[in-house]
Amino acid sequence: MTAQNNRGRRGKSNEGLTLIEVLVGGLALSILLAGLTAAWRVLEYQLLITRLQDRVSRVVRQANDWMLYAPYDALPSDGAQLLSGYLFEPFDQQSQSFRHNLPYSFSAAVAVNNPGTSNESRQIQLTLNYLLPAPVGHETQAHQIQLSPTFRSRL
């Protein structure tokens, strides 16, 4: 076998990787890992938002129950804030207690008809004001849901 053939056989594939190839490989791996991390974060965020939206539905249901069953004299006045709480109370390992995140509260818009009479009635519209985490960073976004008006009469 000639020296030229030897060189040919020992060609490029047998020489190992150049510095550029290793750097390109590392860069490709880094991009892949960064993409996976971003995808993981989006997935986590979506799961959290889904859970919180379910919680918002439950809080609205509870408020509807309260509006339906509360005694007439316990109904809120115009502009009152009621039924407040937190949508997310994660456990904090450091303080060994639950943190209060993402507060919510209802505000009432009340119109009274025939006030002071036995025919008195109220039309109450509750508005839920709550916070949800923003997709990026640790910011929160304010949200609002207006419930259908409820009609209650003293009689």
* Structural contact between residues 99 and 120, judged by C-beta atoms closer than 8 angstroms: no
Cβ-Cβ contacts under 8 Å for 82 (sequence gap 6 or more): 76, 105, 106, 107, 108
Q: How far apart are CA 121 and CA 113, in angstroms?
A: 5
Report the chain's C-alpha Rg in angstroms. Answer: 31
Q: How far apart are CA 147 and CA 95, in angstroms?
A: 37
3-state secondary structure of 67: helix
CA torsion, points 66, 69, 75, 76, in degrees to nearest 10? 10
Which CB atom, from 93 or from 148, has the smaller least distance to other proteins?
A: 93
Which CB atom, from 65 or from 78, has the smaller least distance to other proteins?
A: 65
Which CB atom, from 78 or from 89, has the smaller least distance to other proteins?
A: 89
Structure tokens at 96: 């060994």
Which CB atom, from 85 or from 149, has the smaller least distance to other proteins?
A: 85
In angstroms, what is the minimal distance from the CB of 98 to other proteins? Answer: 4
In angstroms, what is the minimal distance from the CB of 62 to other proteins? Answer: 5
Which CB atom, from 41 or from 51, has the smaller least distance to other proteins?
A: 51
Q: How far apart are CA 145 and CA 125, in angstroms?
A: 11
In angstroms, what is the minimal distance from the CB of 40 to other proteins? Answer: 9
In angstroms, what is the minimal distance from the CB of 135 to other proteins? Answer: 19
In angstroms, what is the minimal distance from the CB of 95 to other proteins? Answer: 13
- Using CB under 8 A as the criterion, which residues of the chain lie in contact with other proteins when the complex forms? 9-10, 13-14, 47, 51, 54-55, 58, 62, 65-66, 68-71, 73-74, 83, 85-86, 88-91, 98
